[in-house]
Chains A and B, each alone.
Chain A
């Protein structure tokens, strides 16, 4: 009993860290640009496919392919921002949120169908030579791949936090989050900040894509599912609150693993979404967010 509880807990934390990374890019982009990119799941899918390519063609270690997915997605992010999202900056805030939502939807339809052309509808996944390896502590099993994923996710979060707190560019991004008008009066180029945030957000989606390809699988129709996971995680942690996404991820991961264990793994995703609706209704600022979410 204690062991199964421990296993549920461990699994929830391992999955939760991955979810935190899945939501990290979305949260950054939303926080900075007030742009809700519901094509985030499609970006994750592209990251997963790039990793799959690097893995199967170059024979790299699965976790090293993250370089390809991050750089590739950063480029795709720049392209998408320049071609599509930069046009939405001119709208007023209310209209902007709605229009970016719609634009991102159009984009998700396009990306999904492009993926179908490039990679067919087959499910693909990356299997490392050490995929089966696991170590056991106090009767609780820790799969190696999951543990490495947790480390990767944590490194991404810490690197992003350091970048935002310590560098000049990071401070410019945070200034823009607080008040873009004042920031622009202080000589910060808002368009550059938006572009950079979008590129970083996409690169983080790429990293998440690698982890998804290693731990689960990728296919063209996966986007919406992962967008929902990212949205749920972000809302649980508080909109635009970057460290909060990891807490949101842990809450979601634990909810899912408890549901799988006590109810049925078929309802894993449903439990997360129901939790999400309840939070939207009763605590829209997020579980741990401040009132001004």
Chain B
């Protein structure tokens, strides 16, 4: 297995890890973090695709690389918006949770 393949496997594992965190962690901020991990794993998979397509004197195909750069910037913009939403939720309700039971319980027993 070549070194580039190793990073591809690493990307696949990171995507799985991120997906696990996204599903099992109840805190919204940790979900955002896990989503970023998932995203970076997918980017790394793209890195392997780019490296494999090395040709014409370039060490990798520049097209997937440019797409990953765009993706990183867009992922940051989405993260910033998501974090702002969580903070607004905290301001509005005093808690930062997505759990529906909590808010129902609060309404039931004031």
Our verdict on whether A and B bind, yes or no, reads no
Q: Which residues of A contact B (CB under 8 A)?
A: none
